[in-house]
Amino acid sequence: MELNAKIFVAGHRGLVGSAILRSLQARGYTNLVYRTSKELDLRDYDKVLSFFLMEQFDYVFLAAAKVGGIVANSAYPADFIRDNLQIQTNVIDAAYQSEVGKLLFLGSTCIYPKLAPQPLKEEYLLTAPLEKSNEAYAVAKIAGITMCQAYNKQYGTRYISVMPTNLYGPNDNFDLETSHVLPAMMRKFHEAKLVQTPEVEIWGTGTPRREFLHADDLADACLFLMDHYEGSEIVNVGVGKDISIRELAELIQGIVGYEGELRFNTDRPDGTPRKLVDVSKIAGLGWQASTPLEAGIRNVYQWFLASQVQMSK
């Protein structure tokens, strides 16, 4: 991407979009465009198309999405499939109509079958049933992938699709009802430490294994792929290592400094038994993650503490 290229970051205030924006700014890109959801509702096609035709972007990072953890996905499946289908359909088509040079679509590794072999290879997509708890979100993301591939085939566009593993980082969602596992744990342990709660409940058995990628590493991968990848096939982004939920809880507990007990509530769902992505494709292109998990979590906890101070002012 040329330094003077006009770039739209959709979803710039979220976990992924804000990391992409930081990465672009750090590398000297200045012709950056972004809008809040109040300024531009990406679910409104007419407004999105008018915006794209007026701005004439060279590159688009489509990081805008409705996201959440097991609780939110289970409780609001209609919202997840509707909003995500609307957002991605509108942005992808508007990019075509306005002749955007290249677009990067952010998916998720929840697109893979619940019981797919591990680690998850890109070719496992659509080979078996999905995890039911986030099926609506996954189907929307699969539709976005297919839409990018279809536009590439029919119209000769340059749309690439990136599948990141579980993410964490600054600007994450720490709401206990709608957040993912890592930020939810961090907030639980922090609040339990403040009021000296004797124990903290962790959902499930603690045995499922998950992989965690810092959002800044994902942003670095996205910029790398914009420069080095042109294929229609999806690309996994991860670290190539996983950790059990119990091990994650103990790691966050230590970083936060909570001294109480952990209680695993086995009446709550575990979700997919294991989710580790095969990163050989992006590694073959010349990219790998650089943030160790413990260092990354410490970084996020410091950001969380600072954000709590800001909120209290």
Catalytic site residues? 137
Count of CA atoms in the C-beta half-sphere (13 A) of 288: 8
- Residue 251 marked in a binding site: no
User: Phi/psi of residue 103, each to 5°?
Assistant: -130, 140
Cα-only R_g, the chain: 19
- Residue 178 marked in a binding site: no
Bridge partners, residue 78, by sequence: none
- Residue 17 marked in a binding site: yes
Whose CA is closest to 85, among 48, 43, 136, 140?
140
Contacts of 228 (CB under 8 A, 6+ apart): 285, 286, 287
Rounded Cα–Cα distance for residues 132 and 70 (Å): 10
Q: Which residues of 147-164 are buried (b: 16+ CB within 10 A; e: fewer)?
A: bbbebbeeeebbbbbbbb
Contacts of 26 (CB under 8 A, 6+ apart): none
- Residue 14 marked in a binding site: yes
Strand-pair category, 243-244 with 209-210: antiparallel
- Residue 22 marked in a binding site: no
- Residue 11 marked in a binding site: yes
- Residue 240 marked in a binding site: no
- Residue 106 marked in a binding site: yes
- Residue 165 marked in a binding site: yes
- Residue 190 marked in a binding site: no
Rounded Cα–Cα distance for residues 305 and 301 (Å): 6
Other CB atoms within a 10 A radius of the CB of residue 204 amount to: 18
- Residue 274 marked in a binding site: no
- Residue 166 marked in a binding site: yes
- Residue 263 marked in a binding site: no
Binding residues for NADP(+): 11-17, 106-109, 141, 164-167, 180
Binding residues for substrate: 188, 203, 210, 270
Binding residues: 11-17, 106-109, 141, 164-167, 180, 188, 203, 210, 270
